[in-house]
């Protein structure tokens, strides 16, 4: 089992380039089932993406990653299609459930494993199934699988989500994009990754627009089959490195290949904390400030502060004067990183769904264990600022969503290596 060894307190300086978004690539890979040929650029070469590619191959699509590039070519020549997403592929990568919408749209049927829960929560898919049923799909759950059918195709309707869900909005889009008549989705998630999916589906010939949290999909006959698409940058990776620089960059660090407008809220939170950030057209320049101010944050659906940056922000708040609070409003069990941070010396108490962080506290290196993707990167941040050495176990969590993490940090003078 691989581990990461980090020697703390090394100042960061230099440049970091942000990779393509894992959470935009996953639904767009699922949408590729609807196309004839797709050329997808700027995909992050991380574990979850390879698992989704395995799933597309299992279904019968032909995929090829162009050597030494972040480009994948996908062909659906409609031969030997298997409308099945098996447990072995969906259990490790829950976004596999997104092929449900595409398979229903394209083939009128699908058998998809229930994704099951993970460390951060039970992760139900009831909202996904609620939307598909509204569009006319027949849904049955048996032996841990979702059996879905829409023999006469799917029919547009008005769907009002009882609560905001990224995955359910994506599955509804994939199912409604070729439905008969007009579909209106209300109370949708509007993350940038969803807008990128809409952009991709419109290239496929769909007619989709959005206003606030309402997405409208019009019936469309157009059938374009060969498309090229460049995936947007990963705003969560960006947020992670912004926090790393807020902790350790005494001189300016440039973070590029981004669009600062998309992370206005996250940049504002760091500015309120006192971090110095200069926005350029496709990069930001960032460095730490001596005194950072304590704050209270609640995680919310976009454009609120993202739950995927909650653990990372918590590390920053251990270094801030005074008491800060983070309320985790999205997932029921997303404080698994707290006991590990406390073993490194952090002073954090959990009350209901709120973490109360006292700072500044000196963190000391320790052997720790990652439990999920974002908790693992929070331990990397803690290791970077802790005294002496930190060893992080179970870093396969990290490899699911951070491309070339060690290389990017080493390029900024951090002392980090895989052992
Ligand atoms: C997406 O997960 C992201 N994953 C998550 O990122 C992210 O944390 C999450 O959105 C919230 O932003 C991908 O995009 C692949 P949700 P998703 O449906 O779609 C409840 C990462 O680290 N819910 O918006 O699963 C659910 O339990 C990952 O990259 C239902 O109750 O999130 C949660 O409490 C982690 N029923 C809340 O809604 C449903 O049918 C939000 O979940 C679906 C969700």
pLDDT digits (tens, 9 = 90+) for 294-316: 999 999 999 999 999 999 999 99
Atom of ligand 1 nearest to the CA of 127: 40
- Domain CATH number, residue 194: 3.65.10.10
**Are 266 and 225 found together in one domain?**
no
Tens digit of each residue's pLDDT (9 = 90 or more) over 135-165:
999 999 999 999 999 999 999 999 999 999 9
Taking residues 11-29, report their average pLDDT.
97
**Three-class DSSP labels, 327-368:** ECCCCCCCCCHHHHHHHCCCEEEEECCEEEEEECCCCECCEE
User: Catalytic: which of 118, 177, 188, 412?
Assistant: 118
% of the chain surpassing 90 pLDDT = 91
**Are 290 and 217 found together in one domain?**
no
- CA-nearest residue for atom 35, ligand 1, is 308
Q: Which residue's entry shows tokens 């760091």?
A: 270
Rounded Cα gap, residues 354 and 104, in angstroms: 40
**Are 357 and 210 found together in one domain?**
no
Taking residues 372-396, report their average pLDDT.
95
Among 168, 200, 230, residue at a domain's last position: 230
368 pLDDT more than 90: yes
- CA-nearest residue for atom 42, ligand 1, is 165
- Residues in contact with ligand 1 by the CB-under-6-Å rule are 23, 26, 95, 121, 123-128, 163, 165-168, 189, 307-308, 330-331, 373-374, 401
- CA-nearest residue for atom 28, ligand 1, is 308
The DSSP secondary structure of 155-187, one letter per residue, reads B--EEE-SS--HHHHHHHHHHHTT-BS-EEEES
Q: What is the pLDDT of residue 369?
A: 94
What separation in Å is there between the alpha carbon of 166 and the centre of ligand 1?
6
224 pLDDT more than 70: no
Q: What is the pLDDT of residue 250?
A: 85
| 37-41/226-230 β-pairing | parallel
pTM score of the predicted model? 0.97
**Are 217 and 276 found together in one domain?**
no
Strand order in the sheet with 37-41: 62-65, 72-75, 37-41, 226-230
> Of 94, 165, 328, which is best to mutate to test ligand 1, by the most ligand atoms within 8 angstroms of its C-beta?
165
> Of 44, 101, 166, 312, which is best to mutate to test ligand 1, by the most ligand atoms within 8 angstroms of its C-beta?
166
Q: What is the pLDDT of residue 122?
A: 81
Taking residues 269-291, report their average pLDDT.
91
Atom of ligand 1 nearest to the CA of 302: 12
Q: What is the pLDDT of residue 201?
A: 96
Q: What is the pLDDT of residue 267?
A: 94
**Are 331 and 224 found together in one domain?**
no
**Are 166 and 258 found together in one domain?**
no
Within its chain, how far is the Cα of 18 from the centroid? 14
Tens digit of each residue's pLDDT (9 = 90 or more) over 69-106:
999 999 999 989 999 999 999 998 999 999 999 999 99
**Are 181 and 63 found together in one domain?**
yes
**Are 176 and 49 found together in one domain?**
yes
User: Is the previous residue joined to 360 through a cis bond, with omega within 30 degrees of 0?
Assistant: yes
Q: What is the pLDDT of residue 258?
A: 97
Q: What is the pLDDT of residue 164?
A: 98
Q: What is the pLDDT of residue 117?
A: 76
Q: Cβ(61)–Cβ(86) under 8 Å?
A: no
Report the candidate in 367, 377, 382 with the shortest Cα–Cα distance to residue 403: 377
What separation in Å is there between the alpha carbon of 167 and the centre of ligand 1?
6
Q: What is the pLDDT of residue 162?
A: 98
Q: How confident is the model at residue 222 (pLDDT cuts 50, 70, 90)?
A: low
Q: How confident is the model at residue 287 (pLDDT cuts 50, 70, 90)?
A: confident
**Are 305 and 345 found together in one domain?**
yes
**Are 282 and 188 found together in one domain?**
no
Among 181, 196, 230, residue at a domain's last position: 230
Domain that holds residue 119: 22-230
Atom of ligand 1 nearest to the CA of 167: 19
Q: What is the pLDDT of residue 121?
A: 85
Respond yes or no: is residue 118 known to be catalytic.
yes
Count of domains forming the chain: 2
**Are 287 and 163 found together in one domain?**
no
22 pLDDT more than 70: yes
Exposed (0-12), middle (13-18) or buried (19+): which is 79, by Cβ within 10 Å?
exposed
Atom of ligand 1 nearest to the CA of 372: 22
What separation in Å is there between the alpha carbon of 165 and the centre of ligand 1?
6
What b/e string do you get for 171-194 counting C-beta neighbours within 10 Å, with b at 16 or more? bbbbbbbbbeeebebebbbbbbbb
Tens digit of each residue's pLDDT (9 = 90 or more) over 238-279:
999 999 999 998 889 999 999 999 999 999 999 999 999 999
Among 197, 230, 263, residue at a domain's last position: 230
**Are 186 and 245 found together in one domain?**
no
Average pLDDT score over the chain: 95
221 pLDDT more than 90: no
53 pLDDT more than 80: yes
Q: What is the pLDDT of residue 223?
A: 74
């Amino acid at each position: 089992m691989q581990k990461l060894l980090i020697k703390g307190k090394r100042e960061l300086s230099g440049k970091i380039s942000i990779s393509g978004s894992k959470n935009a690539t996953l639904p767009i890979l699922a949408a590729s089932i609807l196309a004839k040929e797709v050329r997808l650029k700027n995909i992050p070469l991380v574990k979850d993406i390879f698992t989704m590619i395995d799933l597309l191959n299992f279904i019968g699509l032909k995929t090829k990653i162009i050597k030494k590039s972040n480009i994948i070519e996908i062909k659906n020549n409609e031969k030997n299609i298997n409308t099945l997403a098996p447990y072995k592929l969906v259990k490790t990568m829950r976004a596999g459930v997104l092929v449900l919408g595409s398979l229903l749209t394209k083939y009128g049927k699908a058998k998809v494993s229930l994704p099951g829960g993970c460390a951060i929560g039970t992760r139900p898919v009831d909202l996904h199934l609620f939307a598909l049923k509204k569009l006319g799909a027949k849904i049955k759950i048996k032996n841990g699988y979702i059996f879905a059918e829409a023999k006469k195709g799917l029919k547009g309707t008005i769907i009002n989500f009882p609560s905001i869900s990224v995955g359910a909005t994506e599955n509804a889009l994939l199912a409604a994009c070729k439905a008969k008549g007009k579909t209106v989705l209300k109370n949708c998630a509007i993350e940038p990754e969803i807008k990128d999916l809409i952009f991709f589906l419109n290239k496929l010939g769909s007619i989709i627009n959005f206003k606030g949290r309402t997405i409208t999909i019009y019936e469309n006959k157009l059938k374009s089959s060969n498309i090229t698409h460049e995936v947007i940058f990963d705003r969560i990776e960006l947020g992670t490195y912004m926090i790393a620089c807020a902790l350790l960059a005494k001189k300016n660090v440039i973070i590029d290949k981004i669009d600062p407008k998309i992370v206005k809220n996250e940049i504002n939170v760091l500015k309120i904390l006192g971090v110095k950030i200069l926005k350029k057209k496709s990069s930001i320049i960032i460095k730490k400030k001596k005194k950072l101010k304590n704050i209270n944050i609640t995680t919310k659906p976009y454009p609120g502060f993202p739950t995927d940056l909650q653990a990372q922000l918590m590390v920053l708040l251990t270094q801030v004067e005074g008491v800060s609070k983070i309320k985790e409003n999205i997932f029921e069990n997303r404080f698994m990183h707290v006991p590990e941070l406390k073993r490194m010396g952090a002073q954090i108490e959990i009350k209901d769904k709120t973490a109360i962080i006292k700072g500044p506290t000196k963190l000391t290196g320790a052997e720790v264990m990652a439990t999920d993707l974002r908790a693992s990167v929070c331990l990397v941040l803690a290791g970077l600022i802790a005294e002496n050495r930190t060893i992080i176990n179970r870093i396969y969590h990290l490899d699911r969503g951070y491309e070339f993490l060690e290389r990017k940090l080493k390029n900024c003078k951090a002392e980090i290596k895989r052992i």
